[in-house]
Homo-oligomer: A and B are copies of this chain.
Amino acid sequence: MTSSAEENYLKAIYKLHEKSGNMVTTSALAETLKVSAASVTDFIKKIASKKLVSYEKSKGVKLTDKGRLIAVNIIRKHRLWEVWLVNKLEFKWDEVHEIAEQLEHIISDDLVDHLDKHLGYPTADPHGDLIPDSKGRFAKSNSKPLLECVKGEKVKFIGVADHSNNFLQYLTKNNLSLGDEIMVEAVEEFDNTFTVRVNRKENKIFSKEVVKNLLVAVV
């Protein structure tokens, strides 16, 4: 009933809405899905008639509850597969996205259940993104960008806002991993360069661009 194309549209709408909080525009969808705006208009009409989105012509789309459930389920599967790829198959965190994009479309509720159990019911993927439960519910998260922390704050690195391979590889190269403890030693007022102490050992210096994308939780 639900094709891969449909799942990808719903997932894209979900993520774009999450980012902006607004209705999702045709052009934004065309951009993220790498198809023409005309194709998006076409497709939107189809999924609107299936009550997966509500559509206001020339204004944009919003997911219905039905559409959101499908989208979140795809996200759940994507993140579980990423956990598997990293924890069981020993892939690096910057190598798993494309493979998970394929695996997320495998259809079998049984498989998802067995996989979830095999992985020990993980609550976050290798990038710190929360994994919704099978009913589509997310745990509450109290993360914030390291940029918002002040001198003297002690926090834990629990996720990334930028998922690009470039950023992930930068962090790997600089030996920063999820779970590390970060203590803010100094913040340069002029350009927001942060000096932090990692795991009570070495000091490291990160630019504003970096600390903006490091998500942390107060310990």
Contacts and interface: CB of A to CB of B under 8 A. Distances in A.
Contact of A114 (B89, B103, B115): B89
A102 B110 contact: no
Nearest to A111: B99
Interface in A87-107: 88-91, 95, 98-99, 102-103, 106-107
B95 A102 contact: no
A114 B102 contact: no
Nearest to A105: B102
A139 to B, nearest CB: 24
Contacts of A163: none
A20 interface: no
Contacts of A118: 88-90
A111 B85 CA distance: 9
- Where chain A touches its partner, the secondary structure class is helix
Interface string A107-141: 11011001100100000000000000000000000
A7 to B, nearest CB: 14
Contacts of A88: 88, 118
Contacts of A107: 102
Contact of A99 (B98, B102, B106): B106
B103 A115 contact: no
Contact of A115 (B89, B98, B108): B89
A106 B102 CA distance: 6
A117 to B, nearest CB: 8
8 contacts: A88-B88, A89-B114, A89-B118, A90-B114, A95-B110, A98-B108, A99-B111, A102-B107
Nearest to A96: B111
Interface in A163-192: none
A60 B80 CA distance: 44
A98 B110 CA distance: 12
A95 B90 CA distance: 27
Contacts of A89: 111, 114-115, 118
